[in-house]
Amino acid sequence: MLLQDGGADAVIDVAINGRSLRLFVQVKRSAFPRDVRESIWQLRDHLREMPGIDGQRVPMVASETVSPGARKHLQDARVGYFDESGSLYIPADGVYVLIDRPMAKRQKRSINAVFTGRRAQVLHAAWVCRKEWFGVQDVAERAQVSPATASQTLTELERRDWVEVRGSGPSKERRLSDRRALLDAWAQHQRTSKPPEMRTYYVPESAVAPVVRKLDAVATQVGADYEITGAVAGQAHAPYMSHIGQIQCRIGADRADAVLAQMNARSVVDGWNLAVIRADSPTDFAFRERNEFGWIADPLQTYLDLLQGGGRSSEFADHLRAERLPTP
């Protein structure tokens, strides 16, 4: 039975283990914490207005994608859910169904889109604001993106309950309210995503420091954007390792060949001491920091890059997070 009363979109009668249940289902395209919180209120109000219905009544949300945070909200509220992965939750007296399946690839793309491209720049800008309130224009300027991209991304953060809001319209402001949840989700995305292409070179120097100094001098000379990341940047932010013999960096793609040629860098597979990610946009360097040796990725970007590195990079990432990325 289909309904159009603002509460349930459909009513489904089912029998499980001989028990009759009536499922009151609200349908959503995607479900994040803010969405399901509204659904919980609407479904409960709807059921209060419908006394005397045969069979036990179970409020439910059906969606293409129910995010992990939304699933927790629904389970805490004893509201059922179903999504296209086949995950199913039905809580009722004498009946308990919980099928928890991994999200399909399309669902993961939908959930994780906020961590990619220009939207990731907006997240980064919101992160560096710390506990400050910020408007759409503030974040757009910091992230070097359009106000439309900033607004869309911040709305996604609201749906995930990662920001709090004050005001409305042009004066609307937000600030991060759950830095831990944001960073946990971003870290999980990094761990399961393909790292950017990294080309490896040998620069004829005996140690890391001379290579860093040469990179800074040459990049300045040819007008190239760059930033050191990985273990070298991590060591600058939160010393941890006794020896580092390799450098990872980003260089603007339009000047990368000129920089490498002047550094006498030779492309190699083994024995490399310089790895380069070619960055397509100047916005990739929006949050870099200057230290005594040159430009380095800020702590957040360094952490995200370390999560995709090999060897002890993951261990180093955990140390950097504890020291420089507190999430109380």
- pLDDT classification of 327: cutoffs 50, 70, 90: confident
List strand residue ranges (DSSP E) for the chain, in order: 10-16, 19-31, 56-66, 80-83, 88-92, 95-99, 163-166, 173-176, 199-202, 226-229, 247-252, 266-267, 274-279, 289-290, 295-296
Would you say residue 123 has pLDDT above 50?
yes
- What value does the mean pLDDT take over residues 274-285? 95
CATH architecture of 199-324: 2-Layer Sandwich (3.30)
In this structure, is the dihedral angle defined by the CA atoms of residues 216, 218, 221 and 224, taken in order, positive or negative?
negative
Predicted confidence (pLDDT) at residue 3 exceeds the cutoff of 70: no
What are phi and psi for residue 247, nearest 5 degrees? Answer: -120, 135
Say what the pTM is: 0.83
Long-range pairs for 9-13: beta carbons < 8 A, 24 or more residues apart = 13/55
Region 126-138: what's the mean pLDDT? 94
Give the residue carrying structure tokens 């004498």.
Answer: 94
What is the pLDDT averaged over residues 161-169?
A: 92
Give me the pLDDT at residue 82, please: 96
Sketch the domain layout of the chain as residue ranges: 10-103, 108-192, 199-324
Whole-angstrom CA distances from 9 to 6, 42, 231, 317, 322 are: 7, 11, 53, 46, 46
Q: For residue 203, is it left (φ>0), alpha (ψ between -120 and 50) or beta?
A: beta
CATH architecture of 108-192: Orthogonal Bundle (1.10)
Answer yes or no: are the C-beta atoms of 218 and 260 closer than 8 Å: no
Looking at residue 53, what is its pLDDT? 56
Q: What does the pLDDT read at residue 328?
A: 72
User: In the predicted model, is pLDDT for residue 5 greater than 90?
Assistant: no
Confidence of residue 2 (pLDDT cuts 50, 70, 90): very low
Q: Which fold has domain 10-103?
A: Trna Endonuclease; Chain: A, domain 1 (3.40.1350)
**Percent of the chain scored above 90 by pLDDT?**
77
Given this model, what pLDDT does residue 51 score? 64
> How many residues appear in the chain?
328
pLDDT at 108: 77
Please give the pLDDT value at position 52.
55
Tell me the mean pLDDT in the region 297-316.
Answer: 96
Q: Which residue has the higher pLDDT, 54 or 75?
A: 75
At 243-264, the pLDDT tens digits run 999 999 999 999 999 999 999 9
Average pLDDT of span 114-143: 95
- Token pair 């360097």 is found at 285
The region, left, alpha or beta by phi > 0 then psi within -120 to 50, assigned to residue 251 is beta
Rounded percentage of the chain residues whose pLDDT exceeds 70? 97
Per-residue pLDDT band for 74 (boundaries 50, 70, 90) equals very high
Q: Is residue 247 within 8 Å of 263, Cβ to Cβ?
A: no
pLDDT digits (tens, 9 = 90+) for 16-59: 988 889 999 999 988 999 899 999 999 988 888 776 554 588 99
DSSP-derived 3-state class of residue 162: coil
Q: Which amino acid belongs to residue 116?
A: T
Interval 189-218: pLDDT, tens: 999 999 999 999 999 998 999 999 999 999
Q: What is the pLDDT of residue 326?
A: 86
| Average pLDDT across the chain, whole number | 92
pLDDT band at 102, cuts 50/70/90? Answer: confident
Is pLDDT at 6 greater than 60 in this prediction?
no
- The neighbour count for residue 67, using CB atoms within 10 Å, is 23
DSSP state of 165: E
* CA distance linking residue 94 with residue 136, whole number of Å: 49
Residue 104, pLDDT above cutoff 80: no
The reported pLDDT for the residue numbered 109 is 77
Is there a common fold for 10-103 and 108-192?
no
